[in-house]
Amino acid sequence: MPGNRTAARRRAPRRILVIDVGGTHIKFRVDGRGRIFRFPSGPGLGPERMTRKVLKRAHSLAYDAVSIGYPGLVFHGRIAAEPHNLGTGWTGFDFAAAFGKPVRIVNDAAMQAIGSYRGGRMLFLGLGTGLGATLIIDGVVEPTEIGHMPYRKGRSFEDYLGERGRRRLGTRRWRAAVGDAVAHLSAALEADYVVLGGGNAARLKKLPPGARRGDNRSAFSGGVRIWQQDGATLRLPGTARGQR
């Protein structure tokens, strides 16, 4: 009901600590502005160590709640599978107890997609250590596992578009693979536009037709927006088809 949604927004926390968990770095800041803190991640980093490092660096920051963008499968706000590029122990870890604050968790590509969204049907592809993909349809967020779907020669989209694929192919052939994959996925998913984010998006000299470059800082505004959602479904308020 509209009244309930309005009340929920009034109860939304004012200051959000947003944590963007990546395969090579952890980045965090309060809300969508101010200083960005960062430290290395990697295969040895588990959730307890990550939380301890964030709390040590964020001891002087004031915040009411926490958003976490996680590089893996998140189902109904819970981590559902261990990450490919980090340590273990993420599934079942109690982040709310560790931080002593309310916590919301979404896929990391979904968090940047939410911050990049301008309405309509948007496909977001995060070109980083792996490949994150999120589809947002008229404000409803649909994280996907497109990266692990078969693409060519027995390899997945992530095998081609992720960092390992770039190193195997070379940057020139990797760029061509990105363009080809964007064309196929955009047509199959009937996207109005595509946003290319992640650290490797900067390596593209020319963007594929219908695509724009995302800003990695959009993850922080996305982490704030997930506390403004309507109801149980991750639906972004104030969005309509055709806005970009």
Report pLDDT digits (tens) over 205-222: 999 999 999 987 899 999
> For the segment 71-115, what is each residue's pLDDT rounded down to a tens digit?
888 988 899 999 888 999 999 999 999 999 999 999 888 999 999
Shared domain check, 203 and 124: yes
One-character DSSP codes across 106-167: EEHHHHHHHHH--SSEEEEEEESSSEEEEEEETTEEEEE-GGGSEEETTEEHHHHHSHHHHH
Q: How many C-beta atoms surround the C-beta of residue 63 within 10 A?
A: 19
Report yes or no on 244 lying in a domain: no
Is it the case that residue 237 has pLDDT exceeding 60?
Answer: no
Mean of per-residue pLDDT scores for the chain: 88
Shared domain check, 155 and 87: no
Report yes or no on 128 lying in a domain: yes
Report the alpha-carbon distance of residue 177 to residue 206 in Å, rounded.
13
Domain membership of residue 184 as a residue range: 112-213
pLDDT of residue 244: 40
Shared domain check, 61 and 91: yes
Say how many Å lie between the first and final Cα of the chain, rounded: 27
The beta-strand segments (E) located in the chain are: 16-21, 25-30, 37-40, 65-70, 74-75, 78-79, 103-107, 121-127, 131-137, 140-144, 150-152, 155-156, 193-197, 211-213
Tell me which residue of 199, 11, 202, 9 sits closest to 108, measured CA to CA: 199
Q: Which whole-number Å values give the CA distances from 156 to 79, 108, 130, 177, in the listed order?
A: 22, 19, 11, 12
Shared domain check, 169 and 119: yes
Query: Are 124 and 109 spatial neighbours (Cβ–Cβ below 8 Å)?
Result: yes
Report yes or no on 29 lying in a domain: yes
Shared domain check, 101 and 6: yes
Shared domain check, 150 and 31: no
CB contact burial 194-213 (16+ within 10 A = b; e otherwise): bbbbbbbbeebeeebeebbe
Shared domain check, 102 and 152: no
Shared domain check, 119 and 104: no
pLDDT of residue 10: 52
Helix, strand, or coil (residue 104): strand
Shared domain check, 201 and 118: yes
Report yes or no on 171 lying in a domain: yes
pLDDT of residue 235: 60
Shared domain check, 104 and 25: yes
Tokens coding 6: 């309005």
Query: Are 223 and 18 spatial neighbours (Cβ–Cβ below 8 Å)?
Result: yes
Report yes or no on 152 lying in a domain: yes
Shared domain check, 224 and 155: no
User: Crossing angle of helices 218-225/108-116, nearest 10°?
Assistant: 90
Shared domain check, 44 and 13: yes
Looking at the 3D structure of the chain, how many domains does it have? 2
Report the alpha-carbon distance of residue 17 to residue 58 in Å, rounded.
9
Choice between 177 and 1, residue whose per-residue pLDDT is larger? 177
Q: How many C-beta atoms surround the C-beta of residue 162 within 10 A?
A: 26
CATH code of the domain covering residue 95? 3.30.420.40
Report yes or no on 238 lying in a domain: no
Query: Are 44 and 87 spatial neighbours (Cβ–Cβ below 8 Å)?
Result: yes
Report the alpha-carbon distance of residue 75 to residue 143 in Å, rounded.
9
**pTM exceeds 0.85, yes or no:** no
Is it the case that residue 59 has pLDDT exceeding 70?
Answer: yes
Tokens coding 234: 């991750």
Report yes or no on 241 lying in a domain: no
Report yes or no on 66 lying in a domain: yes
